[in-house]
Chains A and B, each alone.
Chain A
Amino acid sequence: NAGVMQNPRHLVRRRGQEARLRCSPMKGHSHVYWYRQLPEEGLKFMVYLQKENIIDESGMPKERFSAEFPKEGPSILRIQQVVRGDSAAYFCASSPRGSSYEQYFGPGTRLTVT
């Protein structure tokens, strides 16, 4: 059973470009969570999605950030017009049920904005 997959693992973008981060949950998991980790800090919740639905986006910045989890395919975190402060590791996690229990993390995407 493959674990949570994320790609790309590393992404470099210039200021003003768009970043698209992808997350495929574990087989059998239909709940996806995105967290952001700034250097030397803990993980901060961004958004929780089920297939075709955003359940909780209380941690998402109001502008430039969006997330989706379509019926088919991976969940995508999209950052428009990136700025240097967006440089961070972005982790997604999945769980078999819509709860905080047993969240398993992917390897992360390390975004660097130059």
Chain B
Amino acid sequence: GENVEQHPSTLSVQEGDSAVIKCTYSDSASNYFPWYKQELGKRPQLIIDIRSNVGEKKDQRIAVTLNKTAKHFSLHITETQPEDSAVYFCAASSRGAQKLVFGQGTRLTINP
């Protein structure tokens, strides 16, 4: 089955700097890659997703890139702000599958 590895487990950046979180997946049939943000004690919230027919997607300060050959995808947050502090999870899913397979999470801290 699918396996998703996420790095780093913790990340601390200065406010205004960029943050990058990387994930690798094992199943070459995977074609959907969402990112979720989870604040302490709250629900995971979908912040951006990408499908395998595109290599990059942007939404304001957030972007996701996908390299299908290498089977990895990354989340990029630019101009970080204190409210970006949270745990971020990547996930993957294969065509026809209903379940999401999540990475272990990255705790992002933005230092003022």
Contact = CB atoms under 8 A, between A and B. Distances in A.
Interface of A: 4, 31, 33, 35, 41-45, 48, 55-56, 58-59, 91, 98-108
A105 B43 contact: yes
**Most chain A CB neighbours (cut-off 10 Å) among B98, B100, B104:** B98
Given A33-B98, A101-B32, A42 B42 contact: no
A104 B98 contact: no
Given A56-B98, A99-B98, A103-B100, A43 B93 contact: no
Contacts of B100: 33, 35, 43, 45, 100, 103
Interface bin, chain B: 20 to 34
A106 B43 CA distance: 6
Given A91-B44, A105-B45, A107-B43, A100 B97 contact: yes
Contacts of A108: 43
**Most chain A CB neighbours (cut-off 10 Å) among B45, B91, B103:** B91
Pick the 9 closest A-B CB pairs, nearest first. Answer: A100-B93, A42-B102, A45-B99, A105-B43, A43-B102, A48-B98, A42-B104, A107-B43, A105-B44
A79 B44 CA distance: 23
Contacts of B98: 31, 33, 48, 55-56, 98-100
